[in-house]
């Protein structure tokens, strides 16, 4: 069952002794499956990807982020202890990035919760940045019988 949720995403990107922090507040959809959680939301003009949808699939060991829209398609796989070469699409062109996760923590339940990712990005094996991402998911609305059933699964 899919639920409406409030999503807060905070990212910290460190490169060349500089640090950039961003925070995004949005609404989206949340689903608890048998072996994974799925979160999706629409991008806004503030992110530079207006018209795109982001889908996160969270399992015990990996987070997959897919961004798709009219002008871009991105598929990033973040898995602790393993490097993935991933397609990163932008309105200006596409390229392949390497992603290696140092830490993944998921404290999700049927009601929402927190996800923390710490990972490194490289392009053509050249270091680009160290990244940290914290995602908080909170359910919207009341406490209907349907929501109670979802939370008990």
**Could you state, in order of their start, the residue ranges of all structural domains in the chain?**
2-152
Q: CB–CB of 49/42 below 8 Å?
A: no
pTM, two decimal places: 0.84
Q: CB–CB of 49/66 below 8 Å?
A: no
Statement: residue 90 has pLDDT above 90: no
pLDDT at 142: 54
Quick: pLDDT tens for 1-59.
899 999 999 999 999 999 999 999 999 999 999 899 999 999 877 777 788 899 999 99
Which tokens go with 2? 């899919």
d(CA 5, CA 39): 9
Please state which architecture CATH assigns to domain 2-152. Beta Barrel (2.40)
């Amino acid at each position: 069952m899919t639920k409406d949720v409030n999503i807060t995403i905070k990212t910290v990107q460190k490169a060349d002794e500089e640090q950039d922090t961003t925070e995004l507040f949005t609404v989206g959809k949340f689903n608890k499956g048998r072996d994974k959680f799925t979160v999706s939301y629409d991008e806004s003009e503030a992110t530079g990807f207006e018209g795109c949808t982001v889908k996160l699939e969270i399992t015990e060991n990996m987070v997959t982020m897919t961004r798709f829209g009219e002008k871009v398609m991105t598929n990033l796989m973040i898995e602790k202890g393993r490097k993935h070469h991933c397609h990163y699409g932008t309105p200006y062109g596409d390229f392949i990035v390497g992603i290696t996760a140092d830490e993944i923590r998921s404290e999700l339940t049927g009601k929402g919760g927190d996800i923390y990712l710490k990972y490194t990005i490289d392009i053509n094996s050249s270091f680009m940045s160290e990244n940290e991402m914290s995602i908080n998911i909170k359910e919207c609305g009341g406490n209907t019988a349907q929501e109670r059933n979802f939370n008990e699964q």
